[in-house]
Structure 1
């Protein structure tokens, strides 16, 4: 009994420490959010930002803050959290620490649909504003469905190994198709496609915020409610079944949630890579591997990373996705070296 009470006390302290880290990450999101509001081609001091938020700023300051910066920063918060949560889910159900939404072809599927639309449409600016998000989400969902269908077998459903291998193969095939299509674009079309593929946050007005917000409002609570299921699935197929988990059903639901999160984020934020890989890894180092805490920490880490990357992007006039890649590529190599 004494040993049990000591273990329970130690576990309580670990949980309290992990949750305090989550609170710290939330405060960091607020700090980076405020810094980002002050940063750009036209600098607004903290006093100017405060006055403008309270309605006492000039017309120019109000335009800069409310029409240009705030929508973009809010999109960064939502997209960063969505990508990181999708990556955390995939790493949990595949038990692969290098998994991210690109692993199941979500980013590639969305990109292919956008490139097809650009190639077939004579004028992109004349298109309705929600056309590209809808097509990108459809492409992401179609790619995820194709991977699941090809990885499924009647004998044992979807195994982790088949899911990963099929995802890599589908992603490679779609990427090859994208390269072929981009070679046939005219200069104007190619410029737009290259910017979108580089991961530029292009949906930067309040309409796109309102488009993405319902997806996040539904999917994030659903994923948080599945934290215990992710804990069980992370133990392996045999143990999961032994503990009473409905393996194939739960894996399918979580895979659908990851595809929906990543697809909606790609549709609004562009083809941004590495957030789904780096966010969960940083969170796991900070709070451990219990998904009740890890999911919240991953979402906050992803938001911090993307706000910071987008702030640097606005200063340097470089696509946000490239800034994330500059940060993410060395970290990815480090993870590969550790895995080896």
Structure 2
């Protein structure tokens, strides 16, 4: 019987994490739900256990096997060392611990990084879902010798949390009724618009998002994944990542060979235009949906050196799924379900 704490249980990511845990082999654990004042007192459920969201007290982490941090960055900064000192394994989904000494970025679905955690690892950072999706796809193209890869990520409002979603919703409503737009979060018009940068007073940063994804992608690859050029665009959608990826190979390869390489676990290769990947199609899916479209050059219509990938994934679902997979991988350090 494991004991698991979720800090930020009332956030979008916290709610998705509870759903994934309820469907996992950890569903029988004892759960403690923690959050700031706004989320406290709410009645919630994980698996078959009904519980209340509690305040994050100093002794809240006693005898916890795993503590997931998926709330605000400030909450993680304040409490992660308390969880560590209590003997809990820390899994940070907020980005605060990305560059802490000894902390590992992990994604068990990706085989490029063979460095595993041990009893001296201070914390685990489950890889960002965009980095995970890109690593899954590009790891499989590595034998084809990519020469150049450039990816554009269309980031939804849920990437930035509930305040961004609420503002996007209100901007959409206000535009349709010819009212002034709220801009406290984006400091720009996000509704019906694509943004490569925000306003001067924004609370968000696409550059920080790009840097974090690149860092996680490189950590997952362990030096073996192909180099990646990346830009992030804020899209006027609520959920789901979408990727436009341009790939150029060292030599021509048959399209069937590329399709065979891309298919497999955790990747759903879409072959028909009518079923094109989209953020809506990816909702609730654990897999990355991808469509391959070659750039036709020369006289040979069966071999190509350049092609496009159009991919989509459920950003919250993939993040939560990877976090749970990381916890399952760490069970070897806690074989009895007790703080070692």
TM-score, normalised to structure 1's length?
0.24
* Richer in strand (by share): 2
The two structures have a TM-score, normalised by structure 2, of 0.24
**Greater helix content:** 1
